[in-house]
Structure 1
Amino acid sequence: MRQGDEVHQRLRNLCRTYILLRTHSSRLFSLPIIKLPGIGESVIKVDFCDVERRIYDEVLEQFIANINGLSDDTNPYLAQCRCFLTMILKLRMISSHSLTTQNLVKGLLNSSLMRDLVEIARETRDPDHPSTQITKWFITLKKGVSLPAAPPDNEDPSQSRNELNGDREELVKQFHKFTTELHEDGQWDERLRRTSCPHCELTPIGPIITSCMHLYCEECYFILKNSLTSADGKPTCQTCNNPIAEAEYCGTAERIILDEPSVTSSLTQNNTRRTKPSSQKKSSRLFGSRMFATAAQRSRMKQTGDEQQNEDEELDWISAAQGGMPGAKVDKVRELVANWVREDPDAKVVVFTQFLDFVRIFSSICTKEGWAHCRLTGKMSIGARDSSMNEFREKREVKVMIASLMAGGTGLDMSMANKCILVDLWWNEAVQQQAFCRLYRIGQEKVVEVVKIIVQNTIDDYILQLQTKKSANINSTIGEEALQKRDKIIDLLKMFAEVEMQENGGIRVEIRRKGNKPTKATKAPKATSKATRNDPRVKDQRAKNAIQALALRLSSQCLRRNTPR
């Protein structure tokens, strides 16, 4: 028997003595202690779209580079550990949704990454693909950047330039002004539409600006020109149905850069700016553009004050997107809730998450889908939490409760709901089980369904494997089956000595000393005659005496260990 197995067996035997375990399946006098409907638990694995995967990998690469760069710090190990722990948190957040860590994403979306995202979106050739939608939202929300202008694949724009009759400089200037006004007024849906070609609804290739302030792909524009024309022979815009008086290429080698928008009161009225205290703003910026900047760049930011004036970090992208930006997890949660509500009009769903920004994101989605819902988070007052619980319990039309795992995971009765979704795994599975038992408790009349959602090939995989390993170790020591079993005398003897079973049913014991070297036990006095030595009754008595002596020794050792000093 290995030493680790011995320690584990001793611990299990001690736990059997001191622990009283009662679970939903425990029985008393052959009857269950509590009768509840069944509960089903499942894990749904989803995949990132290509854009989400690119952002996740970029975050991982930047943090690894930061960890390596901190090797020359004054206290490198401490700094690297802190950076690593921050990396774990940010990877978990970004696995939930790209906007749960929006300050970090804002700092990542530089020119190079935006070009990569646009190329990924173009490869899908599907305007409804998540990669395309996410890229459009980033372009829309990112201050100062419109669509990267890219030349057509096989043609030179100068060959068709003589067919266009617009003033490029004036059209670009008007487009700058128009999109800036949309950005300042918080008209995000319209701003999003202006970044897509009205014909193919994709990122424009070889973009052409029209007098009605739309961007067309070069190919799509000439298809439009040859098919839809007004009475005076001018092409008609496919979106606004206005004649296109002028059109011109917006450029092939550069981007369209928006003018710096001024701060207006409309953004505040539309609740698209953060209202956090200044100390929290400063802290949040540390996880934004400064996190991945070099020391020289951070020094330059501090001297020029650009960081404090960065409107991207002040603008709340979650409020601006209003649940319109897709994500692997949030799309699956929406699909599950929609199916449950459609199949059972009386169904109520509890969505557990660990990140407050995800609460806001899914709350916007519920509003958009027309699902009456309520929230329960640690930032709410006790009175507000009680009001939210009463609303969820008493109002039949309220279908969804969005709760943080820590605030809503203990001490509450949610038996009015029978569907549960866990968006973010926690390191300790017991915390999750506590949350599930808010539904699976006395008063529950329906079968409870619990769903965990993880993203494959992310940190979610590691957390799930860690949970499985921890649960296996715990159940083998203090699980219900482990505590119900009882070891035999032979098993107890093996913890302290080498035991050998003999053919006649007796045992041979060799006590282990230090260094695991077995020492033969003191032999019994030899019998005076051969007949006495072979007498079965004498053999049985000798075995009983040896067992009793060893049991007495074990008892004295236990008493000595448990005696307070």
Structure 2
Amino acid sequence: MDPSRRKKRRLEDEWEQQAQALQAAPTSYSTASRITPQNSYSHSSQWPDSESGVNMMDTNQAHNFLGQGLAEPCASEIPPNSKISTAGDTLVCYGMVTRFHGKYTRTANDAHQGSNEFPVVIESSSKFTALFSPESSGTLGSEFVDVFEELLRQPSLILQAFCAASDVHSHPTGQSRLRFGPVAVPCSLSIIVYGPWDLCEDVGEFFQDLDMYLQDPRGCDMEVKYCNPHRLSSLNIDNCPMTSDPSLTCLNLDQDLFENITQDNDVLGILDAHQDLPEAPQPEVILPSLKRHQKQALSFLLERERGWNFDPRSSDFWDLMQTSQATCFVNRISSSAHRDEPPEFCGGIVADPMGLGKTLTMIALVATDRSEGLYNNPRPGMPSPVRMPSLILVPPPLLDTWKEQLSQHVRRGGITWRRHYGKEKLTEADDLSLYDIVISTYHTVTGDWGGGHKASNSVLFSTCWKRIILDEAHVIRNTQSQMARAVCALDGRSRWAVTGTPIQNRIGDLSALLKFIRAHPYDDAKQFELDIGQMWKTGDIEEAAKRLKNLSSSLILRRPKTVIDLPPRVDLKFPVNFNAAERKLYDKLKHQIIARADEAFSDGEPGAASNSYITVMQRINALRMVCDLGLHYDTRHDLALSGDKSSGDAGDWSRVAQQAFNLQREMDLVACASCRASCDTTTALLDCEPSPVQPVFAQCLAFLCSDCVQRCARRNKPVTCGHGTAHPFAPVSVSWTALEESRDLASGGGAPGGAASSLAQIGLSSKVKALVSQLAHLPSGEKSVVFSSWRMTLDLVQAGLKQQNIKFVRFDGKVQQKNRQPIIDKFRNDGTVQVFLLTLSCGAVGLTLTEACRAYLVEPHWNPAVEEQALARIYRLGQRRKVTTVRYFVRDTFEERVLDLQESKRKLEEVLLEKKGHGAQEGFDHLEGLRRLV
């Protein structure tokens, strides 16, 4: 143990004296020093690298003691010669300590317990048993034996203990292993400590010498005063609350500091429809019972795969009108009449919000192919369904997600599938009729297409697929990109675009999806713009909304999240105050930014404005890191990269271009100066494959996509920004890994890489301190996910968690693909792991983490859609507990302004109207926008 033996002996002597006095009293509770509670409760605490446990008396003793009552002893019951005064003899609760790790052996007796948290009896300093089953026992880690030995030696202390153990059923072989004998699983113990008031200070000193801190208790069985020696409020027993006080159920921070976030209506709610669809039968090969909304979705999918329905009572926007003189087809959207029948169309857009189980729904659609007589009856005159596989295209990060979903939810042999990716590509010799599904990536399709020159040699383009399903279909919203053109060139009978965000930046995003599904006449972007888009821009909002809803009702399946029975979700903001040193550092950088911006405005030259804009962006990155890291961030790193005098040199620009590009696309939509193809962070989250030709970014903020760079190379034309004075270009990456890597570069690779070693000198930053404190005060059964844009922030959070002995796992861009699933499985299955650290770029897509019920966003992101994608990992189908989200921000910093900016991006008119403006004035506009933020 860490305390000196002399201090321990002094404390032991004092406890022995108090124990003798207590034993002399007519009513003594010394024999109750080893009891276990009736209810099951665990709680987190601030502990370093150690684990805890408790020693308790047997079950009968516990029941007998509780039956005696725990009222404060009367004065008449205290002997005159007692060394304990009436007030000092009062039984109080000192608080809770947690995270004493060990091993718990599950037996058949507790295999079906409804909770993984339960009360335990501590038999010795190293062993405990479950209260409900003495046969189920566990052992404490060896590093905690001395701690409990000292606690158990004191007869005046009462210990209430709980165990949180991993669920054996969470492991694939756990249930079968349990049939052959007991199974040992990791566990964590928590104890609530009770004792006489006058020992409060000594108990506090004992734990503090061990770097252990008493936290607010949860689930106390004893109705006594709560007097925590580690809190100033416990100095006067009269001011201490009772253990039943409702305020103790809050986090150990002032609850008044939390601010509720009002959830605005979803801007895409205008597309909501199809709430009263019939339910399709459950496909036999799908293992889990489909939810009601999924069966309704299946009805929509099957109906759409039957082609146009010209019945005026249908929801399709084409009507067949017949008179004695003519037959025509009327477009309900534009009210225009046409003699020719619209081209055959099968498919649509599945745009349910994130978390409603769209992937399983699409797998169920493929499963209906096994019973075509039941599900797939074509309309009269239409050909029978094609007996070919369905082609599913996904971003690379989602390949494992689809594999997991198919493995978990489909009966063995019910659906056959394979990949067309990397070394697993199909060849002409492969028999496609053997498979129900072929999974590939957008990048693979683009490579196989080769600008149209390689298509004839590719299995993908020489096959007429039963259906083509695009997962995260918004990645093709740039209709002029090579990727979008390649995907649209695929041949399939039915075409489905699946995305939770069909409109991200402008209404034109939707037209790209309509082009893919070939919904005539709106597969032509010009016709879509003429009939719908133009009305938004001319101010006829009501008619535009009506037309968009009519189009949605026939082609798009989107329901609000309320169609599923999710538990409530509470969204909170938590303001953090800098300490004096942090504020001084932040203000220094802030004043530099303002001075540089003012200097550019006084110069009046657009070129100077653009150069200053880059410098300001770099220093804003420094401000962002200071908000997270506090004094762990050394400003010299960032300022060294943003030297004002060298900003015009092309070589220097290539060094900082990636940082500038990343911040620019985080703040706003970046569009190609040539083809206007857009690029932002939501697309980057789905892209981890490098392009053969990198896009470029100019010092004047002009961006050229990789397709346009390739086009210039083929024509032997130089890449230019289009300004009178040419600005230097530099290659940049649009992938999500580049977002993390450049942020590390911005810091010069410095602190807090050594966060653990520098913690003693600097301490945690104010923001990270608040986060770790809240995590340390959560019940051990509540798992949390912490999101940050920065690896360096996670480094500091990680150091804080280690200091408090909070077990965690971590997943960022440096984790290899093969190691990612084991990390996820450990978080899901190990009951002692309570925190998942994730970078936004890794955690915003493709994960299901419903084991967690709390999410923490360490800093605000420019794009609220990225935050919602991250939170949807937790708040989605399968979540059974109330979800709490907490967004941190530092008061009186640019982070407050970013939150205001998020609100404007949630407004419908901002999303549906495309921004315009490009030229010399643009540099001043950008610079002024940044200046307002700081």
Assess same fold via TM > 0.5.
no
TM-score interval, smaller chain: 0.3 to 0.5
User: What TM-score do you get using the length of structure 2 for normalisation?
Assistant: 0.27
Task: Report 1 or 2 for greater relative contact order, CA contacts < 8 Å, sequence distance ≥ 6.
Answer: 1
Structure 1 or 2: more helix by fraction: 1
User: What TM-score do you get using the length of structure 1 for normalisation?
Assistant: 0.43
Whichever of the two has the greater Rg, that structure is: 1
Structure 1 or 2: more strand by fraction: 2
